[in-house]
Amino acid sequence: MGTICIPKRDGVEIAAHFLGGTGPLLLFAPANGFHGRCYEPLASCLADHFKCVGVDLEGQGDTPAPADSTKNMLEQMAEDLLAVVDHFGRDECYVFGHSGGGLAAVIAEQQRPGTFKAMYLYEPVVFGPDQVGVDEKVNSFIDHAKIAAAHAAFTPNFLSERALRRRPRFASKQAALQSFASKAPFKAFQSCALAAYIEHGLRELPDGSAELKCTPEVEGRVFLDTWGVAQRTFGRLGQVTCPVVVAAGTETMPGVIMAPELEAPRIAAQIPSGRFEQYKWMGHFGPFDSPAYIADRVIFNLFFSKNSVLWSTLPKAQSERVPRARL
Protein backbone atom coordinates (compact mmCIF):
# COMPACT_ATOMS: atom_id res chain seq x y z
CA MET A 1 0.00 0.00 0.00
CA GLY A 2 1.17 3.54 -0.64
CA THR A 3 0.07 7.14 -0.97
CA ILE A 4 0.34 9.51 -3.90
CA CYS A 5 -0.40 13.23 -4.08
CA ILE A 6 -2.42 14.31 -7.12
CA PRO A 7 -2.31 18.03 -8.03
CA LYS A 8 -5.42 20.00 -8.91
CA ARG A 9 -5.67 23.15 -11.00
CA ASP A 10 -5.96 25.29 -7.85
CA GLY A 11 -2.63 23.96 -6.56
CA VAL A 12 -4.04 21.72 -3.83
CA GLU A 13 -2.58 18.20 -3.83
CA ILE A 14 -5.09 15.44 -3.14
CA ALA A 15 -3.84 12.49 -1.07
CA ALA A 16 -4.93 9.16 -2.55
CA HIS A 17 -4.16 5.96 -0.65
CA PHE A 18 -3.86 2.50 -2.21
CA LEU A 19 -5.94 0.19 -0.02
CA GLY A 20 -5.09 -2.97 -1.92
CA GLY A 21 -6.78 -5.20 -4.46
CA THR A 22 -6.75 -5.81 -8.19
CA GLY A 23 -9.28 -5.14 -10.90
CA PRO A 24 -11.20 -2.03 -11.95
CA LEU A 25 -10.68 1.13 -9.91
CA LEU A 26 -12.98 1.74 -6.94
CA LEU A 27 -12.63 5.13 -5.26
CA PHE A 28 -13.74 5.72 -1.67
CA ALA A 29 -15.19 9.20 -1.09
CA PRO A 30 -15.40 9.57 2.71
CA ALA A 31 -17.95 11.10 5.01
CA ASN A 32 -17.20 14.58 6.35
CA GLY A 33 -14.59 14.45 9.10
CA PHE A 34 -13.22 11.10 7.91
CA HIS A 35 -10.36 10.16 5.61
CA GLY A 36 -9.78 7.59 2.89
CA ARG A 37 -7.94 5.06 5.03
CA CYS A 38 -10.92 4.71 7.39
CA TYR A 39 -12.27 2.33 4.74
CA GLU A 40 -9.36 -0.13 4.94
CA PRO A 41 -11.52 -2.87 6.57
CA LEU A 42 -14.15 -2.49 3.84
CA ALA A 43 -11.51 -2.41 1.10
CA SER A 44 -9.93 -5.62 2.40
CA CYS A 45 -13.24 -7.39 1.75
CA LEU A 46 -13.31 -6.04 -1.81
CA ALA A 47 -9.68 -6.72 -2.75
CA ASP A 48 -10.50 -9.75 -4.94
CA HIS A 49 -12.75 -7.59 -7.11
CA PHE A 50 -11.41 -4.03 -7.20
CA LYS A 51 -8.30 -1.91 -6.98
CA CYS A 52 -9.30 0.18 -3.98
CA VAL A 53 -8.16 3.78 -3.50
CA GLY A 54 -9.20 5.91 -0.54
CA VAL A 55 -9.32 9.63 -1.26
CA ASP A 56 -8.69 12.30 1.37
CA LEU A 57 -11.05 15.06 0.27
CA GLU A 58 -10.00 18.65 0.90
CA GLY A 59 -9.43 19.47 4.56
CA GLN A 60 -9.64 15.78 5.53
CA GLY A 61 -6.76 13.45 6.34
CA ASP A 62 -3.55 14.35 4.49
CA THR A 63 -5.18 16.75 2.01
CA PRO A 64 -4.95 20.39 3.14
CA ALA A 65 -7.96 22.66 3.37
CA PRO A 66 -8.37 25.01 0.39
CA ALA A 67 -7.06 28.54 0.72
CA ASP A 68 -10.10 30.01 -1.07
CA SER A 69 -12.82 30.30 1.54
CA THR A 70 -15.41 31.57 -0.93
CA LYS A 71 -15.86 28.34 -2.90
CA ASN A 72 -18.34 25.71 -1.78
CA MET A 73 -16.47 22.86 -0.06
CA LEU A 74 -18.65 20.12 -1.54
CA GLU A 75 -18.09 21.41 -5.07
CA GLN A 76 -14.36 21.50 -4.39
CA MET A 77 -14.53 17.91 -3.14
CA ALA A 78 -16.23 16.93 -6.40
CA GLU A 79 -13.29 18.50 -8.21
CA ASP A 80 -10.97 16.42 -6.01
CA LEU A 81 -12.64 13.24 -7.22
CA LEU A 82 -12.47 14.34 -10.85
CA ALA A 83 -8.73 15.04 -10.47
CA VAL A 84 -8.15 11.56 -9.04
CA VAL A 85 -10.17 9.94 -11.83
CA ASP A 86 -8.17 11.88 -14.42
CA HIS A 87 -4.94 10.66 -12.85
CA PHE A 88 -5.90 6.98 -12.96
CA GLY A 89 -7.93 7.08 -16.18
CA ARG A 90 -11.66 6.87 -16.82
CA ASP A 91 -11.84 3.50 -18.61
CA GLU A 92 -13.62 1.67 -15.79
CA CYS A 93 -13.98 3.62 -12.57
CA TYR A 94 -16.48 2.99 -9.79
CA VAL A 95 -17.10 5.03 -6.65
CA PHE A 96 -18.18 4.26 -3.10
CA GLY A 97 -19.56 7.48 -1.65
CA HIS A 98 -20.42 7.80 2.02
CA SER A 99 -22.50 10.67 3.42
CA GLY A 100 -20.87 13.93 2.28
CA GLY A 101 -18.56 11.94 0.04
CA GLY A 102 -21.64 10.53 -1.66
CA LEU A 103 -22.87 14.06 -2.35
CA ALA A 104 -19.46 15.00 -3.78
CA ALA A 105 -19.54 11.92 -6.03
CA VAL A 106 -22.98 12.83 -7.39
CA ILE A 107 -21.87 16.40 -8.07
CA ALA A 108 -18.79 15.08 -9.92
CA GLU A 109 -20.96 12.82 -12.09
CA GLN A 110 -23.37 15.68 -12.82
CA GLN A 111 -20.50 17.97 -13.76
CA ARG A 112 -18.94 15.39 -16.05
CA PRO A 113 -21.35 12.61 -17.07
CA GLY A 114 -19.70 9.27 -17.63
CA THR A 115 -17.04 9.78 -14.97
CA PHE A 116 -18.21 6.71 -13.08
CA LYS A 117 -19.31 3.41 -14.55
CA ALA A 118 -21.57 2.89 -11.53
CA MET A 119 -21.98 4.32 -8.04
CA TYR A 120 -22.66 2.84 -4.62
CA LEU A 121 -23.81 5.59 -2.27
CA TYR A 122 -24.34 4.96 1.42
CA GLU A 123 -26.68 7.56 2.93
CA PRO A 124 -25.50 10.44 0.72
CA VAL A 125 -26.46 13.86 2.07
CA VAL A 126 -28.62 14.90 -0.87
CA PHE A 127 -31.83 16.54 0.32
CA GLY A 128 -35.12 16.80 -1.51
CA PRO A 129 -37.71 19.56 -1.16
CA ASP A 130 -39.73 19.97 2.02
CA GLN A 131 -42.86 18.61 0.39
CA VAL A 132 -42.81 15.13 -1.13
CA GLY A 133 -43.94 14.84 -4.72
CA VAL A 134 -47.06 13.07 -5.97
CA ASP A 135 -45.01 10.15 -7.29
CA GLU A 136 -43.21 9.86 -3.92
CA LYS A 137 -46.48 9.39 -2.04
CA VAL A 138 -46.93 5.92 -3.51
CA ASN A 139 -43.41 4.83 -2.51
CA SER A 140 -43.76 2.80 0.66
CA PHE A 141 -40.11 3.41 1.62
CA ILE A 142 -40.60 7.18 1.82
CA ASP A 143 -41.86 8.28 5.24
CA HIS A 144 -43.66 11.54 4.51
CA ALA A 145 -44.35 12.47 8.13
CA LYS A 146 -40.76 11.95 9.30
CA ILE A 147 -39.37 13.89 6.34
CA ALA A 148 -41.69 16.82 7.09
CA ALA A 149 -40.71 16.79 10.76
CA ALA A 150 -37.00 16.57 9.99
CA HIS A 151 -37.12 19.44 7.50
CA ALA A 152 -39.14 21.61 9.88
CA ALA A 153 -36.64 21.08 12.72
CA PHE A 154 -33.44 21.37 10.70
CA THR A 155 -31.29 24.48 10.40
CA PRO A 156 -28.14 24.55 8.21
CA ASN A 157 -25.88 25.53 11.10
CA PHE A 158 -27.03 22.77 13.49
CA LEU A 159 -24.37 20.21 12.53
CA SER A 160 -21.78 22.94 12.03
CA GLU A 161 -22.18 24.21 15.56
CA ARG A 162 -21.92 20.69 16.91
CA ALA A 163 -18.73 20.09 14.90
CA LEU A 164 -17.19 23.25 16.34
CA ARG A 165 -17.62 21.80 19.83
CA ARG A 166 -15.52 18.74 18.99
CA ARG A 167 -12.39 18.21 21.02
CA PRO A 168 -9.47 18.83 18.63
CA ARG A 169 -6.50 17.70 20.74
CA PHE A 170 -5.60 14.74 22.97
CA ALA A 171 -2.71 13.80 25.23
CA SER A 172 -1.72 11.05 22.77
CA LYS A 173 -3.15 8.89 20.02
CA GLN A 174 -3.77 6.18 22.61
CA ALA A 175 -5.71 8.63 24.75
CA ALA A 176 -7.71 9.64 21.68
CA LEU A 177 -8.48 5.99 20.92
CA GLN A 178 -9.75 5.41 24.44
CA SER A 179 -11.87 8.57 24.29
CA PHE A 180 -13.48 7.82 20.92
CA ALA A 181 -14.04 4.14 21.75
CA SER A 182 -16.30 5.16 24.64
CA LYS A 183 -18.59 7.43 22.63
CA ALA A 184 -21.23 7.04 19.93
CA PRO A 185 -20.98 6.51 17.04
CA PHE A 186 -17.35 5.38 17.31
CA LYS A 187 -17.93 2.75 19.97
CA ALA A 188 -19.93 0.73 17.42
CA PHE A 189 -17.11 0.76 14.85
CA GLN A 190 -15.17 -2.41 14.27
CA SER A 191 -11.89 -2.03 16.14
CA CYS A 192 -9.81 -2.02 12.94
CA ALA A 193 -11.92 0.81 11.47
CA LEU A 194 -11.58 2.92 14.62
CA ALA A 195 -7.85 2.19 14.76
CA ALA A 196 -7.46 3.40 11.15
CA TYR A 197 -9.45 6.54 11.91
CA ILE A 198 -7.16 7.39 14.84
CA GLU A 199 -3.85 6.38 13.29
CA HIS A 200 -4.31 8.32 10.06
CA GLY A 201 -6.77 10.98 11.18
CA LEU A 202 -4.69 12.49 13.97
CA ARG A 203 -1.34 14.23 13.72
CA GLU A 204 1.30 13.62 16.40
CA LEU A 205 2.88 16.78 17.76
CA PRO A 206 6.45 17.19 19.10
CA ASP A 207 5.28 17.00 22.73
CA GLY A 208 3.62 13.62 22.12
CA SER A 209 0.08 14.96 21.99
CA ALA A 210 -2.15 14.44 18.96
CA GLU A 211 -4.59 16.70 17.11
CA LEU A 212 -7.30 16.07 14.53
CA LYS A 213 -6.09 16.58 10.96
CA CYS A 214 -9.62 17.61 9.99
CA THR A 215 -10.12 20.58 12.29
CA PRO A 216 -13.52 21.33 13.82
CA GLU A 217 -13.54 24.53 11.77
CA VAL A 218 -13.14 22.66 8.48
CA GLU A 219 -15.70 20.01 9.43
CA GLY A 220 -18.12 22.76 10.46
CA ARG A 221 -17.59 24.65 7.21
CA VAL A 222 -18.36 21.53 5.18
CA PHE A 223 -21.65 21.10 7.05
CA LEU A 224 -22.53 24.75 6.46
CA ASP A 225 -21.80 24.39 2.74
CA THR A 226 -23.84 21.20 2.40
CA TRP A 227 -27.48 22.28 2.62
CA GLY A 228 -27.83 24.55 -0.42
CA VAL A 229 -25.76 22.45 -2.81
CA ALA A 230 -27.45 19.25 -1.55
CA GLN A 231 -30.86 20.62 -2.55
CA ARG A 232 -29.62 21.83 -5.94
CA THR A 233 -28.06 18.43 -6.55
CA PHE A 234 -31.36 16.68 -5.82
CA GLY A 235 -33.06 18.75 -8.53
CA ARG A 236 -30.53 17.49 -11.08
CA LEU A 237 -30.53 13.80 -10.18
CA GLY A 238 -32.25 13.00 -13.49
CA GLN A 239 -28.97 13.89 -15.20
CA VAL A 240 -27.21 10.91 -13.58
CA THR A 241 -27.50 8.11 -16.11
CA CYS A 242 -25.09 5.48 -14.77
CA PRO A 243 -26.39 2.69 -12.49
CA VAL A 244 -26.61 3.89 -8.89
CA VAL A 245 -27.51 2.06 -5.71
CA VAL A 246 -28.48 4.29 -2.80
CA ALA A 247 -28.22 2.37 0.47
CA ALA A 248 -29.33 3.32 3.95
CA GLY A 249 -29.85 1.91 7.39
CA THR A 250 -32.88 2.41 9.61
CA GLU A 251 -31.20 3.59 12.79
CA THR A 252 -30.86 7.29 13.57
CA MET A 253 -28.20 8.62 15.89
CA PRO A 254 -29.60 10.33 19.00
CA GLY A 255 -29.68 14.09 18.55
CA VAL A 256 -29.45 14.01 14.75
CA ILE A 257 -32.18 16.09 13.16
CA MET A 258 -31.55 15.77 9.43
CA ALA A 259 -31.42 12.00 8.99
CA PRO A 260 -30.09 11.02 5.53
CA GLU A 261 -31.70 7.58 5.71
CA LEU A 262 -35.04 9.34 5.14
CA GLU A 263 -33.80 10.92 1.92
CA ALA A 264 -32.17 7.82 0.45
CA PRO A 265 -35.27 6.28 -1.18
CA ARG A 266 -36.19 9.71 -2.61
CA ILE A 267 -32.73 10.01 -4.19
CA ALA A 268 -32.85 6.56 -5.77
CA ALA A 269 -36.31 7.21 -7.23
CA GLN A 270 -35.08 10.34 -9.03
CA ILE A 271 -32.17 8.59 -10.78
CA PRO A 272 -33.15 6.84 -14.03
CA SER A 273 -31.02 3.78 -13.25
CA GLY A 274 -31.19 4.13 -9.49
CA ARG A 275 -32.24 1.57 -6.90
CA PHE A 276 -32.64 1.71 -3.14
CA GLU A 277 -31.46 -0.82 -0.56
CA GLN A 278 -32.46 -0.58 3.09
CA TYR A 279 -30.48 -2.40 5.77
CA LYS A 280 -32.44 -2.86 8.96
CA TRP A 281 -30.63 -2.29 12.28
CA MET A 282 -27.80 -0.43 10.53
CA GLY A 283 -27.02 3.25 11.04
CA HIS A 284 -25.24 6.08 9.26
CA PHE A 285 -21.82 4.55 9.92
CA GLY A 286 -22.65 1.07 8.67
CA PRO A 287 -19.51 0.92 6.48
CA PHE A 288 -17.44 1.09 9.69
CA ASP A 289 -19.75 -1.06 11.84
CA SER A 290 -20.36 -3.88 9.35
CA PRO A 291 -17.81 -3.68 6.52
CA ALA A 292 -18.17 -7.32 5.46
CA TYR A 293 -21.92 -6.97 4.92
CA ILE A 294 -21.53 -3.69 3.05
CA ALA A 295 -18.80 -5.24 0.89
CA ASP A 296 -21.14 -8.06 -0.07
CA ARG A 297 -23.76 -5.55 -1.23
CA VAL A 298 -21.16 -3.52 -3.14
CA ILE A 299 -19.93 -6.61 -5.00
CA PHE A 300 -23.48 -7.72 -5.80
CA ASN A 301 -24.66 -4.36 -7.10
CA LEU A 302 -21.56 -3.40 -9.07
CA PHE A 303 -21.49 -6.83 -10.73
CA PHE A 304 -25.09 -6.43 -11.89
CA SER A 305 -24.40 -2.86 -13.00
CA LYS A 306 -22.09 -4.11 -15.75
CA ASN A 307 -25.03 -5.39 -17.78
CA SER A 308 -28.11 -3.25 -18.35
CA VAL A 309 -30.34 -6.29 -18.78
CA LEU A 310 -29.19 -7.79 -15.48
CA TRP A 311 -29.54 -4.41 -13.76
CA SER A 312 -33.11 -4.06 -14.99
CA THR A 313 -34.06 -7.36 -13.32
CA LEU A 314 -33.28 -6.01 -9.84
CA PRO A 315 -36.10 -4.47 -7.79
CA LYS A 316 -36.10 -0.68 -7.66
CA ALA A 317 -36.22 -0.88 -3.87
CA GLN A 318 -35.70 -3.64 -1.34
CA SER A 319 -35.18 -4.12 2.38
CA GLU A 320 -32.53 -6.43 3.83
CA ARG A 321 -32.61 -7.63 7.42
CA VAL A 322 -29.08 -7.31 8.77
CA PRO A 323 -28.10 -9.55 11.71
CA ARG A 324 -27.79 -7.58 14.94
CA ALA A 325 -24.39 -9.14 15.51
CA ARG A 326 -21.78 -6.88 13.90
CA LEU A 327 -20.37 -8.43 10.74
All structural domains of the chain: 3-321 (3.40.50.1820)
pLDDT of residue 159: 83
Q: Is the pLDDT of residue 258 over 70?
A: no
Least reliable range by pLDDT among 78-92, 211-225, 244-258: 244-258
Distance (Å, whole) CA 188 – CA 286: 9
Bond preceding residue 156 cis, omega within 30 of 0: no
Backbone angles phi, psi at 137, to 5 degrees: -70, -20
Percentages helix, strand, coil for the chain (3-state, rounded to 5) are: 45, 20, 40
Confidence at 148, pLDDT banded by 50, 70, 90: confident
Q: Looking at per-residue confidence, does 252 or 308 come out higher?
A: 308
Q: Is the pLDDT of residue 327 over 60?
A: no
Residues 6+ apart with CB under 8 A from 207: none
Looking at the whole model, is its pTM more than 0.85? yes
Q: Mean of the pLDDT values across residues 211-223?
A: 95
Distance (Å, whole) CA 271 – CA 94: 17
**Helical segments of the chain, H only:** 40-46, 73-88, 100-111, 144-153, 158-164, 173-181, 191-201, 216-235, 260-270, 286-289, 291-304, 308-312
pLDDT of residue 257: 57
Confidence at 256, pLDDT banded by 50, 70, 90: low
